[in-house]
Amino acid sequence: MAETKSCLVEKLSRYAPLSERDLERLATLEEEERPCPRGSDVHRAGDRNGDLFVLKAGWAFSFTNMPDGRRQIVTVHHPGDVIGFPDIAFRNATTTLRCVDDVTLCPFPKSALSVILRESPRLSALMLSIALRDQVVFIDLLRAMGRMSARERIAHMLLDFRARLRMTDPAVTDRFRLPLTQQQIADYLGITNVYVSRTMIQMEDEGEIVRSEGHITLRDASKLERLTDFCDRYADMDTSWFPDT
Amino acid sequence: MAETKSCLVEKLSRYAPLSERDLERLATLEEEERPCPRGSDVHRAGDRNGDLFVLKAGWAFSFTNMPDGRRQIVTVHHPGDVIGFPDIAFRNATTTLRCVDDVTLCPFPKSALSVILRESPRLSALMLSIALRDQVVFIDLLRAMGRMSARERIAHMLLDFRARLRMTDPAVTDRFRLPLTQQQIADYLGITNVYVSRTMIQMEDEGEIVRSEGHITLRDASKLERLTDFCDRYADMDTSWFPDT
DNA sequence: CGGATGCTTGATCCCCTTCAAATAACGTGG
DNA sequence: CCACGTTATTTGAAGGGGATCAAGCATCCG
């Protein structure tokens, strides 16, 4: 029985059935979990690449800066997310990882990937699939940034957050905590904090959302889904082609 | 000796040294190459997922539409590129693949991935790395879309194209063929064709670029690199952690 | 309770869009 | 190789979405 409460096991076994051996293998790869206070940086862009993480609790985000100070938040990480995948193709981190909340991280070393690739084709397929799923999520975000208005972008972001939160907690409803500042939302969506404020007020005035106590409520999620042509990439991965072992 | 001129072998062996066995394995996975006329669609968004491709010759691009007709080109594919990676995590294609030129494709089936994962950890690592490298390229593009002006986006695109073309042909200089229409560039960068025209004229007036005979010349690439804080993601992948076999 | 941080609001500006039309380049058939 | 329709590029004028700057409020936290 998998009595071990490994983050990685917890996370990956959600996607596809894994053998006992694979589960054990995963559990041994993990290092001791590690807390990080809100506002702190786990690593900075340019740092030598170290570990990958599973985000056990709290929100975080990855971002890059331009020389003149413009900032782009690239990913908002939710509990259960694997963090650091894109960087492993390179020697140095391409983004800075900052904690939104007090956060708990479960690190596992980059070299663990090598072990997985050598020993478990099925786990390898899973890692690859997650990476490729994330790529499609980026593509969806790219479409939002390229062709959507500020209002649509915010709607898209909210739907995306809901879908992601629902992955680790199926009980998530149309009301959930949103700990990001408007400046952070702005840096994520490529607009300004001022316009985030204006747009969210407008969305609230028109009954699309409600804000209170750091939480947000989607009043009519399916309307927002139509508005943004939203597609939940977390719900329907294809695992049928995976090797059996 | 690898006498077979397999596209896949050609492509992948560029990144990291591979064993004879791996090279042979790759060669057998490939199906017969296939031509596609310019302007035609290889597959459409929503189609059941079939093959992956190596683009042997010509340019192509992948795009999505919004219900109201807005279009976002997501990737511009150059000779040597592997096409279709993001889709394999799903049952259906998420984008439409359209040919810019008369194109030659080397298809290999999705099931080939399963074979690779089972038989060659080293090739698996390579596939994963390419997927993750592409993810970083998307992140760079995202940053451009979120925080850069039209002019900076165009500069970024040109630098990216040059870097990619140089991967398969190191002889590529600051002058190269640019077969995209301004409408396509616009749909790629999230601006309008009209503004692409205006901006490129301005860039030409100010001596940053030259256009002639369907080609473009970068007059001072390093200046453009500073302007956009450009980073060549194709030049420096980290393969040091790969399994040996 | 006081400072800092985050949110809202107003006035003004500009990058880019939209619409429309003219010009140029291209592809095809004769 | 030219003629002609088609598609791509350029140009102009006008308008809007969102940026910028600056100030006033609300909230959080020690």
For residues A197 and A182, give the distance between their C-alpha atoms in angstroms, rounded to a whole number.
Answer: 7
- pLDDT at position A2 is 42
Q: Which are the contacts of A161, defined by CB distance < 8 A and separation ≥ 6?
A: A76, A78, A176, A178
- Write a three-state SS string for B40-61: CEEECCCCECCEEEEEEECCEE
Rg (CA), chain B: 18
pLDDT digits (tens, 9 = 90+) for A27-62: 888 888 899 999 999 999 999 987 899 999 999 999
pLDDT digits (tens, 9 = 90+) for B93-104: 999 999 999 999
Reply yes or no on whether the pLDDT at B88 is more than 60: yes
A44 reaches B (C-beta below 8 A): no
- pLDDT at position B231 is 95
Which site among B92, B96, B128 would you substitute to test the A interface, given the most A Cβ atoms closer than 10 Å to its Cβ?
A: B128
| Contact assignment for A90 to B142 by CB distance below 8 Å | no
- pLDDT at position B165 is 94
Q: Which residue has the higher pLDDT, A1 or B195?
A: B195
Domain of residue B206, residue span: 135-228
Same domain, A64 and A165: no
Confidence at B1, pLDDT banded by 50, 70, 90 = very low
Same domain, B59 and B141: no
Same domain, A12 and A105: yes
Reply yes or no on whether the pLDDT at A156 is more than 90: yes
Reply yes or no on whether the pLDDT at B238 is more than 80: yes
- pLDDT at position A4 is 54
| Contact assignment for A146 to B236 by CB distance below 8 Å | no
CA of A204 to C1' of C8 (A): 14
- pLDDT at position B138 is 97
- pLDDT at position A71 is 96
Residue A237 resides in a domain: no
Average pLDDT along chain A: 92
Residue B116 resides in a domain: yes
pLDDT digits (tens, 9 = 90+) for B195-225: 999 999 999 999 999 999 899 999 999 999 9
- pLDDT at position A6 is 81
Same domain, B195 and B117: no
- pLDDT at position A183 is 97
Residue A98: C-alpha distances to residues A58, A67, A161, A184, B114 (Å): 11, 19, 18, 11, 36
Lowest mean pLDDT across A201-205, A206-210, B167-171, B181-185: B167-171
- pLDDT at position B4 is 54
Q: Which residues from chain B sit within 8 angstroms of residue A117, using beta carbons? A: 121, 124-125, 128, 243
A193 CB-to-strand C distance under 7 Å: yes
| Mean pLDDT of the region A212-222 | 94
Q: Which residues from chain B sit within 8 angstroms of residue A237, using beta carbons? A: 89-90
Residue B241 resides in a domain: no
Same domain, A155 and A87: no
Reply yes or no on whether the pLDDT at A1 is more than 50: no
A223 reaches B (C-beta below 8 A): no
Same domain, B115 and B149: no
Same domain, B142 and B117: no
Confidence at B68, pLDDT banded by 50, 70, 90 = very high
CA of A158 to C1' of D26 (A): 24
Reply yes or no on whether the pLDDT at B2 is more than 60: no
Same domain, A221 and A115: no
Q: Which are the contacts of B117, defined by CB distance < 8 A and separation ≥ 6?
A: A121, A122, A124, A125, A128, A243, B124
Same domain, B149 and B187: yes
Reply yes or no on whether the pLDDT at B80 is more than 80: yes
Q: Is A210:A204 a contact under the CB 8 Å cutoff?
A: yes
Rounded (5°) CA angle B76-B86-B179:
10
Which site among B74, B135, B189 would you substitute to test the A interface, given the most A Cβ atoms closer than 10 Å to its Cβ?
A: B135
Same domain, B115 and B201: no
Residue B128 resides in a domain: no
- pLDDT at position A95 is 96
- For position A78, which CATH number holds? 2.60.120.10
| Contact assignment for A128 to B131 by CB distance below 8 Å | yes
Residue A106 resides in a domain: yes
pLDDT digits (tens, 9 = 90+) for A72-124: 999 999 999 999 999 999 999 999 999 999 999 999 888 888 899 999 999 99
| Mean pLDDT of the region B32-53 | 90
To the nearest 10 degrees (0 to 180), the angle between helices B182-189 and B150-168 is: 100
A192 CB-to-strand C distance under 7 Å: no
Same domain, A186 and A107: no
- Tell me the percentage of chain A whose pLDDT exceeds 90: 72
Token representation of residue A111:
């070299």
- In this complex, the residue of A66, A127, A141 whose CB is nearest that of residue B147 is A66
- The domain tally of chain B equals 2
CA of A127 to C1' of C3 (A): 47
Which of B78, B98, B121 is at the close of a domain?
A: B121
For residues A236 and A146, give the distance between their C-alpha atoms in angstroms, rounded to a whole number.
Answer: 25
Residue B239 resides in a domain: no
Which residue from A minimizes the CA distance to B133?
A89
- pLDDT at position A169 is 87
B146 CB-to-strand C distance under 7 Å: no
Q: Which residue has the higher pLDDT, A3 or A208?
A: A208
Residue B240 resides in a domain: no
- pLDDT at position B182 is 97
A94 CB-to-strand C distance under 7 Å: no
B138 reaches A (C-beta below 8 A): yes
Same domain, A216 and A176: yes
Q: Is B175:B166 a contact under the CB 8 Å cutoff?
A: no
pLDDT digits (tens, 9 = 90+) for B150-177: 999 999 999 999 999 998 888 889 999 9
Residue A2 resides in a domain: no
Reply yes or no on whether the pLDDT at B132 is more than 90: yes
CA of A108 to C1' of D29 (A): 34
- For position B217, which CATH number holds? 1.10.10.10
A117 reaches B (C-beta below 8 A): yes
Which of B99, B121, B143 is at the close of a domain?
A: B121
